[in-house]
Amino acid sequence: MKIAIGHLGGLTYALKTSLEDLGFEVILPSLNNKQMLEIGQNYLTSGLCFPLKIALGNFISVKESQPDAVIFYSGCDLCNLPPGNHIFKEILNDQGCYPEIYLCAIDSKHNFITSYFNLIKKISNKPLHKLLHSLYLAAIKYETFHFIDQVFYNIRPIFNNSYECEKLYESYFNKLTQLSSVTELKKLSIELGELYKHYRSSTANRLLRVGLIGDSYSLMEPSSHNYTDRYLGKLNVVVDRWSYNYLSPQKIHSDSNIINFKKIFKQELGVYTSLEIKKISNYVNEGYDGLIFISPFNCNPNDILRNLLTRVREEFDMPILDLLIDEHDSDIGANTRIEAFIDMLHRKQLSKKHENNYSTDFRKFSIARFVCDPLY
């Protein structure tokens, strides 16, 4: 069976390895680029969000390979992705492509694990222990992609030559995409840990720390936000977009912060939005200098959260940049806003007249925490 999947950061390669472990042939489109966007724009109206057009471009581009099945990514009930997937299917059918359609949720860790396990159980006749091994392989490979990002989020700001840094990052990223065994993945994690220890310097404690929050699709697929995370590294800023970090700063717990968050967010706002609120709480407690809220234009779940961010700014004195991503935006415009935001954070840091002193330790991958902790 040939299965097509779209690009979504490291998750794409984790799913590919998992499916190939079960004996399936996996079809991947070209990396996300302007051409992918243009393909999606030909079929979808301008009012629909940016990720929908990128995702559709992925699936249209692989239809010539005649996949037997396609895995669509699905968001929460407020997201455009669930109804958009029905449109994707109709468009593929109109093009003479009639694959079986399967959905994989990306709005939360729990929903992803449940939906993906049900998916492989449905399409594969392998015994249970083979399915569980495939799921574990996907989990540890995906977390290794997280680890690569976390290591480079910490060392990118202290590299003198940004070109050499990105070249080193690409070499590790490409190496990881080819690995297909748990042993190889663990060896690479050890190698990355040594890389971090080699480059990490005491000056890093004086660097700004910024957390990335917002749309789950955009955070997972860096091309959709023009690689904001890498650009921040070039501006000598330490970045985090997961909230739970292998290279974990020492947490500063505050009961008053928890109480104040409950005052702002008095009701459940859906699975996805609730998880982002927990991330914001973690960043506040860990003393981050600022947050960047990344979301595409016309994203319903993020529109709800955006309305409450003003109160977070005021209550916790937490600077937040609202970076709205649109298909017509230019890199220059977004980068100018980011630079102005970082300049403001530097001025605020100088006015406090203290350094960010935090210790860093290593945490080994835990399948139990991967399954049970939504922020892991």
Query: Per the structure block, which two tokens stand in for 181?
Result: 């065994």
User: Can you tell me the mean pLDDT for 321-340?
Assistant: 85
Instruction: Say if 97 falls within a structural domain.
Output: yes
Same domain, 206 and 115: no
DSSP characters over 42-75: TTS-TTS-HHHHHHHHHHHHTGGG--SEEEEEE-
Residue 151 forms part of a structural domain: no
β-strand pairing of 69-74 with 2-5: parallel
Q: How large is the average pLDDT for residues 145-170?
A: 93
Q: Per DSSP, what are the bridge partners of residue 103?
A: 72
Among 316, 338, 310, 363, CA closest to 208? 338
Inside any domain, residue 191: no
In-domain check, residue 226: yes
* pLDDT tens-digit map of 195-224: 998 887 755 667 999 999 888 888 888 888
Kindly state whether residues 339 and 209 are assigned to the same domain: yes
Is residue 170 assigned to a domain? no
Task: State yes or no: pLDDT of 135 exceeds 90.
Answer: yes
What pLDDT score was predicted for residue 248? 46
Q: Are residues 100 and 211 in the same domain?
A: no
Residue 345, pLDDT score = 96
Q: Is residue 213 part of a domain?
A: yes
pLDDT in the model for residue 202: 59
What pTM, to 2 d.p., does this model score? Answer: 0.87
Q: What is the pLDDT, as a whole number, of residue 267?
A: 56
More confident residue, 248 or 26: 26
Q: Are 98 and 212 part of one and the same domain?
A: no
For residues 65-88, give the mean pLDDT. 82
122 lies in the same domain as 222: no
| Positive or negative torsion for Cα 208, 214, 219, 223 | negative
Q: Residue 7 CA to chain centroid, in angstroms?
A: 12
Write down the pLDDT at residue 336. 93
User: For residue 244, what is the DSSP state?
Assistant: S
Where among 103, 127, 151 does a domain terminate?
A: 127
Q: Are the C-beta atoms of 136 and 367 separated by less than 8 Å? A: yes
Does the structure show a pLDDT above 60 at 284? yes
pLDDT band (50, 70, 90) for residue 279 = confident
**Which band of pLDDT confidence, cut at 50, 70 and 90, is reported for residue 253?**
very low
Task: List phi, psi (to 5°) of 324.
Answer: -85, 120
Same domain, 111 and 224: no
**Tokens, residue 226:** 């023009």
On the question of pLDDT at 176 being above 60, the answer is yes
CATH number of the domain to which 346 belongs: 3.40.50
Containing structural domain, residue 63: 2-127
Do residue 267 and residue 367 come from a single domain? yes
150 falls within a domain:
no
- Rounded CA-CA distance 182/138 in Å is 10
pLDDT, tens digit, 9 for 90 and up, residues 258-278? 556 666 666 555 545 667 777
Q: Is the pLDDT of residue 25 over 50?
A: yes
CATH of residue 15's domain is: 3.40.50.11890
Same domain, 336 and 207: yes
Structure tokens at 252: 């500063």
Q: Is 44 exposed, middle or buried (0-12, 13-18, 19+ CB in 10 A)?
A: buried
Q: Which of 127, 149, 182 is the last residue of a domain?
A: 127
Q: How many domains does the chain have?
A: 2
End-of-domain residue from the set 102, 127, 152: 127
What band does 249 get if pLDDT is binned at 50, 70 and 90?
Answer: very low
Judge if 219 and 76 occupy the same domain. Answer: no
pLDDT surpassing 70 at residue 371: no
Is the residue at 143 inside a domain?
no
